[in-house]
Structure formats: C-alpha cells, structure tokens
Amino acid sequence: MKILYVHHGTILGGAPLSLLYLAREMERQPGVELEIVCHSPAMRDFFSKNLQSPVSLWVNPLTYFGKYLIWDIRLDSLRALKLFLRDFFNIPKSILWQAWLLRRKKPDVVHLNSSVLFTSALAARLVGIPIVWHVRECLHTGFRQRRISAPIIRRLANRVVTISELEARLLGADTRDNIRVIYNPINFDALQPGLYDQNSEKGKLGLRESEKLVISLGGVNPRKGTFEQVEAMCYTDSQTKLIIAGPPLHMPPASDYERAIAETLSALPQGKVVFIGMIEDIAPLLAACDLLLFTGVKSHFPRPIFEAWRMKKPVIVFEMDGISNNVDHFVDGIIVKDISGRSLGDAIASLLKDPSAMQRFGEAGSKKAECKCNPVSVAAQVVAVYKSVLSRRFLRAG
C-alpha cells in the first residue's frame, strides 16, 4: 500500500508536526510505503531530516485560494485581491501538473494534509486515485464554507479525517458516512515526564523551587489571547512567573495589539513575564512548569493542552468552541468563561494554591492524552481508513 502525503504549508506549525508524528508511525507499519511531497524547500528539509521515507518537490497547490474558501478571508485590499487572482488564474495549470505527477508516482491513496488543498483533490480525482482528506482547520460558518467548501470536501474525498468533533460538525451532514474523527498525534517519545526533574528544569530557567511557573506555547498572537495572559499576571502573587514561547513581542511594538501588551508589561515587575521566542523542544519547558495556559479566543485545535497533559500538567483555557470542549472543568483543567485578564489571573492564583488539584488534573489529563493522541493508536486508525477506502475501491472494480 503506497500512500502519498501532500503537505501545503511553508512554515513549521501544527499541521507538519502532526504529519511528522503520523508518518513516523506509518514507517513502522508492515506493508505501508509512503512518500511526502511539498512545494516549500523549508518543509522538505524538515521532513527529510526527521523521516526515512522519500520527500519530494511538489507543484504549488495555490493555498491562498483554498484559504479563501474555508476561512473568512475578505478581498478588501489590493494585496488580497492580487493574491486571490494570482491563484485563481493558475488553478488549471496547477491541477494539470499535479495530475501528471500523480500519474508518474502511482500511489494507492493520496492523503491531503490540510483542508485548503482543493487543487490537489481535483488532480487526484482527475486521475482516479482515492483521496483521504485531513481537515485540520475549523471551517467558518459563512456562505462559502457551508455551501461551497464543505460540500466539495465531502464529495471529492473518499474519506475525510477531522481532528476533533468540531471540525466534523462544521463540515455539515455526513450523508455518505465518509467522515472519521481521529485526533492529532503528539510526540509521545519526547514527552515523557519520568525523564525530567521539575526543580532541575526550573533552575535551568533561572527560577527558584519556591516560584510557580505558568507557560504558554502560543507566542504573541491575538488569536491566542496573549494580552489576557500578560494582564492576568497583574492578579497573581510575586512568586508566580509567566514564560511565553513562540513568536516573540517586537521591540518597539509592531502593532496596536503589541503596544497594549507592552504597556501592561511596563506595570509588572522585571522578569514577571518573559518571552523566549521559538523553541524546538518543548518537553523541558513543560517539565518545568506548574500549569499551561491555552487561551485561544478563536476555534483552534489545542495541541499544547494534550502535550501538557502528556507531561501530567494541569491546564487553564477560556471557554471557546473547539478548545474548551476538550477540557473537563475541574477534572483535568479549568475553563474560564469570562475572557479577561482579571478572570484568568484569579483562576491561575486559585489553582496554584491547590497542589492536590493540580496533581489530580494532571493525572486525569494524562489518561485523556493517552486515549486520544498516542501516535500508535492514531496510526492504526488511519491505516484502517486506508484499508476501508481501498477495499471499497476493489469491490467496485470487481
């Protein structure tokens, strides 16, 4: 069984990491041959360094057009209009080139790693190769999504894999019974709490054992609620520190949003909040922390929640569809209903004063991460999807 994975992106993020962890397990499956293709040189380098399977150049799949179909992108600027028209007029050429490449490679299944890959889906359909379409993004609820993109995805794909029940719901009625919910895998090999000593990892960060460490892995981003995280520190004690990993705060601030963060920072003690930028290995930071914040203010798959749970850490989230419905309130974390720094700070302070609850939440979360995000079980579910697609195809051929 030969599987061709088509990756769309140009930077390291959740989608390529999920594909990497899945592909690693697929390489261990008997009878499975795989290849990853992508048009981004950076992504080809990333996959080549971390996998044994071949990684090849691919035609630009024109993802701005795909993003326009699935998200609330508006053509209200000259730049947006140019990007859209550039993609739109190149669609036929992209489809034909991808179809030509698919005929040469002859995979049994094409696995699309994002919902934006409409041209790749059309190319696979053109040459008659079954499609497994991985929807990793939340579709919006506007006309384009409900009436155009969701029906196209359901119709073109032999199977649609969504990363949670929310994405499945946003695709609309599953009248053909071809939607499967399979959670994203996380890096179980690296995220092993037994490999770390919390106090030792705190010391490496310049913290004392008595200090409490709160972390966020989302960087500076309005969608990740960074401002509320920083503001929350105004309502915690002097022993509580916040480290934010990911895209850092620019100095001087690059936007009104960053200026608001900088103003709030100026009222806090030095070292109360630290931005450490992008990091490749999150396990030591998770080992050092006492709890993780995932304060997304828009629907998004909360990978860091499951990574924290794997390390037996409690989490705090805002109430937000696609995020908070993964958390059981006061079982494996806390859901803050009011999206504000004050409410978030109060929740942080309350949880840090209750070590038994923190331990209980972390243990419960660890079981949930094992159940939903273990790469071994995820790979087994995906293999079952492939076999289902191919068996149906052979039955029809017969």
User: Is the model's pLDDT at 397 over the cut of 70?
Assistant: no
Of 75-79, 168-172, 256-260, 289-293, minimum mean pLDDT range = 75-79
Q: For residue 117, what pLDDT is reported? A: 96
pLDDT number for residue 364: 98
pLDDT tens sequence across 6-20:
999 888 888 899 999
- Categorize the per-residue pLDDT at 130 as very low, low, confident or very high, splitting at 50, 70 and 90: very high
Buried b (16+ CB within 10 A) or exposed e, 133-148: bbbbbbbbeeebbeee
The answer to whether residues 71 and 140 touch, using CB atoms and an 8 Å cutoff, is: yes
pTM for the model? 0.89
Q: Kindly tell me if the per-residue pLDDT of 28 is higher than 80.
A: yes
Core vs surface per residue 112-122: b (16+ CB within 10 A) or e: bbbbbbbbbbb
Q: Which fold has domain 193-372?
A: Rossmann fold (3.40.50)
pLDDT, the chain, mean: 94
pLDDT at 273: 97
- Residue 173, pLDDT above cutoff 70: yes
The string of pLDDT tens digits covering residues 370-385 is: 999 999 999 999 999 9
CATH superfamily label, 2-185+374-397: Glycogen Phosphorylase B; (3.40.50.2000)
* Half-sphere exposure for 67 (CA within 13 Å, toward CB): 13
Report whether pLDDT(239) > 90: yes
What confidence category does residue 365 fall into, taking pLDDT thresholds of 50, 70 and 90? very high
Residue range 311-324: mean pLDDT, rounded = 95
Residue 299 is predicted with a pLDDT of: 81
What is the CA angle 339-342-348, rounded to 5?
Answer: 95
Q: What are phi and psi of 41, to 5 degrees?
A: -60, -40
The mean pLDDT of 55-73, rounded to a whole number, is 90
Find, among 109, 119, 113, the residue nearest to 133 by Cα.
113
CB 183 within 8 A of CB 373: yes
Q: What confidence category does residue 393 fall into, taking pLDDT thresholds of 50, 70 and 90?
A: low
Range with top average pLDDT, 34-43, 61-70, 171-180: 34-43
Give the pLDDT band of residue 342 (cuts 50, 70, 90).
very high
How many Cα atoms within 13 Å fall on the side-chain side of residue 294?
27
Percent of the chain beyond pLDDT 90? 83
> Looking at the predicted structure, is the pLDDT value of residue 394 above 70?
no
Q: How far apart are CA 67 and CA 87, in angstroms?
A: 11
| DSSP state at residue 329 | B
Q: What is the pLDDT of residue 306?
A: 97
Question: Are 364 and 331 contacting, i.e. CB atoms less than 8 angstroms apart?
Answer: yes
pLDDT of residue 272: 97
Domain edges within the chain: 2-185+374-397, 193-372
The answer to whether the bond into 252 is cis (omega within 30° of 0) is: yes
**pLDDT tens profile 249-307:** 999 999 999 999 999 999 999 999 999 998 889 999 999 999 999 999 988 889 999 99
Which percentage of the chain shows pLDDT scores above 70?
Answer: 98
> Nearest 5°: CA angle at 322, between 319 and 323?
50
What tokens were used for 287?
Answer: 């080992």
Contact 135, 160 (CB under 8 A): yes
d(C-alpha 128, C-alpha 131), whole Å: 9
Supply the pLDDT for residue 221: 93
- Residue 396: the pLDDT is 58
